Amino acid sequence: MRRRVVVTGMAGLCPLGSDWPTVRTGLRAGRSGVRVMREWDAYEGLDTRLGAPVLEFSVPSHYTRKKVRSMGRVALLATRATELALADAGLAGSSILTDGSTGIAYGSTSGSPPAMEIYAEAFYTKHSVKGIAGTDYLQFMSHTCAANLAQFFGITGRIVPTCSACTAGSQGIGYGYEAIVSGRQTVMVAGGAEELHAVNAAVFDIMFATSKRNHEPHRTPRPFDRQRDGLVVGEGAGTLVLEELDHARARGARIYAEVAGFGTNGDGTHITNPDVRGMQTVMELALKDAGLTAGAVGYVNAHGTATESGDIAESLATHRVFGDRAPISSLKSYLGHTLGAAGALEAWITILMMREDWFAPTLNLEDPDPRCAPLDYVRGEPRGLRVDHVMSNNFAFGGVNTSLIFTRWPGD
């Protein structure tokens, strides 16, 4: 019999805040987390000056130096979000974290950029190893979040680093779900994180994919809008505690939602250009895994980056699956594109909106691009809506696609 997987703990740190009440208030008020990053003036040729930072984060005083010396900001964000999520699940300090029953599926686009700078400057500019600390590599290694979480919390189950850029967080949740469904683990700490740095903005700036509205940060990004001019990079961390249903019930855990389905695939066509067919297929895979028809899904959380090719392709793929009946909106219009954290933060927020029977509109969507498919775009005001199933989609460079389906828990 297939094991069922539920969400028993969640937490996020994002540009709108570090707790759900604050984030909820920001979403309902149409508040943007985008800021002008004047420190980026130092980089010649970088056109965008827009980012979405987590403003209120500081390292908690109870984090010892020994625990954090191997962490850059990205791992610190991941650790704090996970600490809050485990407490929310009632599992902080539990023996299940250390007895092999709990694993980790967590990712980011990369490790901490400042630590990479130290290595690069020493090797390629100074041709020396002087000034490099033994912990610098640990801060920028690709699996720094997953590895540091295991060490910090003493987790001894499987570790699945998901370093797939914009699908890192959603693959973390999906692979965590699969580890429990298959009976390999009872609990999985799942999610993703990202650290804001000019180098992340530069990746997209060089490809002419960033917003240049430096004088009006509150007006961008504009997913699906005719006047969009590109994405804005952000940062944050989101953690979901996934648990096998019988185990959660036995300990009397609060259940937020059920993870009903997951799909992931590759386009196999182009490393950066989005593929409509691949996006369509991944949504269909998630529906099949959940045993649901498209008509059962009441809301779609879009990847919605506000790039021309991405918005158009995603809208066409979504229309092929749902037609014009499923309401859709993009949280990146508030948070910016938080890259490795996006899938986890968007899942966290989407689940909580479903529980509260409302969904945020896409901020700044005033005039839908006629080249996008005619979807039911949520815009203007939050939409009151009670649904039983929601889908959250993410797509990444390399042609990596993900789709997650969450189901309302009975009684909510």
Which of 329, 276, 267, 273 shows the shortest CA–CA distance to 301? Answer: 329
Segment 373-377 long-range contacts (CB within 8 Å, at least 24 positions apart): 373/315, 373/316, 373/318, 373/319, 373/324, 374/319, 374/324, 375/315, 375/318, 375/319, 375/322, 375/324, 375/326, 375/328, 376/324, 376/325, 376/326, 376/327, 376/328, 377/224, 377/327, 377/328, 377/329
| pLDDT value, residue 56 | 85
SS (H, E, C) 103-125: EEEEECCCCCHHHHHHHHHHHHH
For the chain, give the percent of residues with pLDDT over 90. 97
Q: Average of pLDDT values for 272-301?
A: 97
Q: Average of pLDDT values for 375-397?
A: 98
Q: Average of pLDDT values for 349-375?
A: 98
Average the pLDDT over each of 78-87, 132-141, 238-247 and give the range with the smallest value: 132-141
Domains and CATH numbers, the chain: 5-408 (3.40.47.10)
1: pLDDT strictly greater than 80: no
SS (H, E, C) 293-353: CHHHCCEEECCCCCCHHHHHHHHHHHHHHHCCCCEEECCHHHHCECHHHHHHHHHHHHHHH
Predicted confidence band of residue 317 (pLDDT cuts 50, 70, 90) = very high
pLDDT tens-digit map of 135-164: 999 999 999 999 999 999 999 999 999 999
Q: Average of pLDDT values for 123-138?
A: 92
Q: Average of pLDDT values for 70-82?
A: 98
Which of 262, 146, 245, 249 shows the shortest CA–CA distance to 187? Answer: 245
Catalytic residue numbers?
Answer: 166, 303, 337
